[in-house]
Amino acid sequence: MSLANSPKLLKGGLVVLTPNGSGVSRSIALQYNPDTLTRSYQVQGSGGDASSGRAQPYRLKGPAIETFRLDAEIDATDHLETPEAHASTVAHGIAPQLALLESLINPSVDQLVSLAAQSAQGMLEILPPEAPLVLFVWSKSRVVPVRVSEFSIIEQAFDPGLNPLRAKVSLGLRVLSSDDLGFAQKGASLFISHLRGREALAAQATNASLSTLGLNGLF
């Protein structure tokens, strides 16, 4: 039995917005929070090399490109314990949840049909359909616009009809910065809020003394 005053466990997940960011299309909560979340950065800098004979001051052209990587577990066991309340799981296993994640990386059938119709009409310039804006949510203090850059599924168990019952999903998410989106976009304001939050956290870190580094002073 859980205690009444025990903290509520938040779920990580994804929120799918409409392409212009004006509303929520879908929200996807991870069934189980992954044990690890890998973050990597590619620095966007210029200068600092000595190829011209004299090193130039190193400059940061824009925000570093941040990437998240995580493995999510999806399991039908809990739902199958109460089959009367989860008819979809009984009929399809976890296939609906997997299909929902797959929709993040595929245009819709309607969009494909529209592109084919435009091509058949002889249109010279056909713009690919704009993908929805996806937000990675890892607590209320970490909400960032992302693009799914890597996606793989390992299906690990099946029912008699070969519907998947358990799977591990690996996601690679590239954070979209204000450089990518432009400041007028809704996603850009969310990125700036994310970056401002990181700066606020950095300000709370304890400053090490120079003596800790074996120095008496620099000037």
Q: Which residue has the tokens 């019952």?
A: 165
In one-letter notation, the amino acid at residue 189 is S
- Separation between Cα atoms, residue 71 and residue 35, nearest integer Å: 8
Please name the amino acid found at residue 64: A
Kindly report the number of other CB atoms within 10 A of residue 26's CB atom: 13
Is 0.75 surpassed by the pTM of this model?
Answer: yes
- Residue ranges in 93-174 assigned as alpha helix (H): 95-102, 109-120
Nearest alpha carbon to residue 46 among 33, 35, 61, 32: 61
CB 72 within 8 A of CB 97: no
Segment 89-125, tens digit of pLDDT: 999 999 999 999 999 999 999 989 998 998 888 877 7
Instruction: For residue range 147-200, list pLDDT tens digits in order.
Output: 999 999 999 999 999 999 999 999 999 999 999 998 888 899 999 999 999 999
